[in-house]
């Protein structure tokens, strides 16, 4: 019977560059305002529609807090990968982030339907709003 390596001390992915599990070394890239694409104000560029998207400040604050927690969770996953944590542990955390992002998307979609689409319908602009929503859902789903 051949002896197997101890599970307590698995080989480090950096120690064997030929291993299919080796993580590549990432080089940080400096990001300057000039190197980033311009950000639009709101979730649609102003020229994409004729009506205004107004969101409740409390709702926006809750979404931003949720996204900040997700951002921190992703940093934690990055640390797990840097520390060579077990793949199943990392995958569980990735699944948790996916679930959290899906929840954010559902909240945004719900608010869009109840606020933005309703406002567009009242303004007589429902066709364009629905076309934008369909295009966004095509990319999302």
Written as six digits, the tokens of 25 are 């070394």
Dist. CA 42–CA 111, nearest whole Å: 14
Q: Which of 44-48, 75-79, 115-119, 126-130 has the lowest mean pLDDT?
A: 44-48
pLDDT at 50: 54
pLDDT of 92 higher than 90: yes
pLDDT, average across residues 51-66: 85
The pLDDT tens digits of the residues spanning 101-129 come to 999 999 998 888 888 888 888 888 888 88
- Rounded to the nearest angstrom, the gap between the alpha carbon of residue 27 and the centroid of all alpha carbons in its chain is 22
Q: Which of 16-30, 72-86, 91-105 has the lowest mean pLDDT?
A: 16-30
Q: Which residue reads 């640390």 in tokens?
A: 79
pLDDT at 123: 83
pLDDT at 141: 80
Mean pLDDT estimate for the chain = 74
CA trace torsion 61, 62, 65, 69 (10° rounding): -170
The string of DSSP letters for 48-72 reads: G-SS-----HHHHHHHHHHHHHHHH
Query: Is 100:73 a contact under the CB 8 Å cutoff?
Result: yes
pLDDT at 129: 86
| Size (the chain), residues | 141
Identify the band that residue 5 occupies on the pLDDT scale cut at 50, 70 and 90: very low
């Amino acid at each position: 019977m051949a002896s197997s390596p101890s599970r307590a001390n698995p080989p480090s992915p950096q120690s064997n560059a030929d291993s299919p599990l080796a993580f590549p070394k990432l080089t940080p890239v400096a990001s300057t305002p000039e190197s980033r694409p311009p950000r639009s104000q709101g979730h649609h560029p102003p020229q994409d529609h004729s009506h205004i998207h107004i969101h409740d400040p409390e709702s926006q604050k809750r979404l931003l807090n949720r996204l900040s927690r997700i951002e921190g969770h992703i940093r934690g996953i990055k640390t797990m990968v840097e520390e060579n944590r077990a793949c199943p542990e990392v995958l569980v955390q990735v699944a948790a982030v996916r679930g959290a992002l899906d929840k954010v998307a559902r909240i945004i979609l719900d608010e869009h339907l109840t606020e933005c689409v309703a406002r567009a319908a009242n303004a007589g602009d429902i066709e364009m709003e629905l076309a934008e929503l369909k295009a966004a859902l095509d990319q999302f789903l």
